[in-house]
Amino acid sequence: MPLGARSSPSDFSSGMPVIALALLALLASVSGRLLAPALFGAATGIERWIQVTQATANLASPIVAVGGVAFTLRAVGVTLTRSSLGIAYRMLVIPAAIATSAMLMAAVARVLEPALVSVLAVSALVTAAMSVPIALGRPATRAVGMVLALTALSGAFDFAGVRLSLWAVDRVSSTAFRVASVLVTCGFALEILLVAVAFTCLGYRKPVRTAVFTASTIALTLLVAWIVHLGRQPYASTGPIIVARAVAELLRPPAPLVPSAVRLTLEMASLVAAVAALVLARRSPAAALIALCLLARGSLDVPIPALLLVVAAIAVPAYARPDDPEEPEAAPLVPGN
């Protein structure tokens, strides 16, 4: 499904704020989720790098949170004025989007309780599920709709597997833990399909671009795997140790029933797809929504990824150019955009 052929800035009036949000989310994910945990205790003499990484994560994450909540609440206001969206959509999506924003703001002050984590994930899934048919119904956002649907579906399996695995640990139930592994494996298979669809949409009728995506994924995977191997050797240097620790953070449990090398390949492919989507977003702002979905992949029990999915889901119905000429187009979030 083409992404850029029928999409232009006039099709998606709030493209630039979403691009900026996706860039900051990528920075926050790399610095906060991967580098910061890997740097601590890796070696002495890198205190300055630890401080820089921690400061970057501490700065980028709140900006993403505030920007995402602001975008969501503004989109909720626009959704209220879109009578073409239907009463059922507005009655479900508006409370769900507000609930996600509220859970994220609550997570700033304290760690969310399991019940609130469930509210966070379910509200994000509801928003995505209700927005998928609308995105699929518009040629300019059909690619986004497919990616959004696969993100929500894989996220549902992953969330169910994670919650069941925690319950299995508390109850010391090996049967429940095996079922959790099966659920996570189903989510993993859907994530593979998600990244494949993203590559297809981003490289539609561009064989050279598709070849570049594939080669980049293979090269990055082999490079990271080789560095991880070095980092696990006795007396390894600081760099490989940090990369090995970052990969361990990336491949968090519960693990799907696939080799770790396959999991690493998927993570690298997702990163390549997200970066490619951000590069292409200048010509096709809707590509930034694909980047948001890829960054939210598999982590809907975490506040910021859940918010990113809500932003990607609510952006199309609220800001994509209406097909009905009598329906007024929403004002952009940034004047002159």
pTM > 0.75: yes or no: yes
Task: Express each pLDDT in 103-128 by its tens digit.
Answer: 888 887 677 888 888 888 999 999 99
pLDDT of residue 332: 35
The answer, yes or no, to whether residue 317 has pLDDT greater than 60, is yes
Q: Give 43's pLDDT tier (boundaries 50, 70, 90).
A: low
pLDDT of residue 329: 42
Segment 47-67 mean pLDDT: 77
Alpha-carbon dihedral 11, 16, 18, 21, rounded to 10 degrees: 170
Among the ranges given (49-58, 83-92, 265-274), the one the predictor scored with the smallest mean pLDDT = 49-58
Residue 116 corresponds to which tokens in the numbers above?
């609130």
Q: What are phi and psi of 276, to 5 degrees?
A: -60, -40
Task: Express each pLDDT in 265-311 by its tens digit.
Answer: 888 888 888 888 888 887 777 788 899 999 988 788 888 889 999 99
Give the SS3 label for residue 32. Answer: helix
pLDDT of residue 14: 47
Q: What are phi and psi of 15, to 5 degrees?
A: -65, -45
pLDDT of residue 308: 92
Which run of H or E residues covers position 260?
A: helix 260-280
The CA-atom distances, in angstroms, between 154 and each of 45, 158, 274 are: 41, 6, 17
Q: Give 41's pLDDT tier (boundaries 50, 70, 90).
A: low
pLDDT of residue 40: 64
pLDDT of residue 39: 67
Q: Give 5's pLDDT tier (boundaries 50, 70, 90).
A: very low
pLDDT of residue 187: 92
pLDDT of residue 259: 87
Segment 1-10 mean pLDDT: 46
Query: Higher confidence at residue 194 or residue 34?
Result: 194
Gyration radius of the chain's alpha carbons: 20
Task: Express each pLDDT in 228-247 by its tens digit.
Answer: 888 787 777 777 777 777 77
Residue at 289: amino acid letter: L
- CB burial string 281-304: b at 16+ within 10 A, e below: beebbbbbbbbbbbbbbbbbbbbb
Residue-range domain boundaries for the chain: 15-319
Task: Express each pLDDT in 58-74 by its tens digit.
Answer: 778 888 888 888 888 88
Segment 245-250 mean pLDDT: 75
Helix 174-202 and helix 142-171: axis angle, to 10°?
Answer: 160
Mean pLDDT value across the chain: 79
The answer, yes or no, to whether residue 1 has pLDDT greater than 60, is no
Percent of the chain with pLDDT over 70: 84
Which run of H or E residues covers position 220?
A: helix 207-231
163 half-sphere exposure, CB direction, 13 A CA radius: 18
First to last CA, the chain: 26
Segment 139-162 mean pLDDT: 90
Residue 192 corresponds to which tokens in the numbers above?
């593979």
pLDDT of residue 57: 73
Q: Look-up: residue for tokens 């497919």?
A: 146
The answer, yes or no, to whether residue 19 has pLDDT greater than 80, is yes
Q: What are phi and psi of 122, to 5 degrees?
A: -65, -40
The answer, yes or no, to whether residue 325 has pLDDT greater than 50, is no
Measured distance CA(105)–CA(72) in Å, rounded: 13
The answer, yes or no, to whether residue 2 has pLDDT greater than 60, is no
Residue 157 corresponds to which tokens in the numbers above?
């399996």
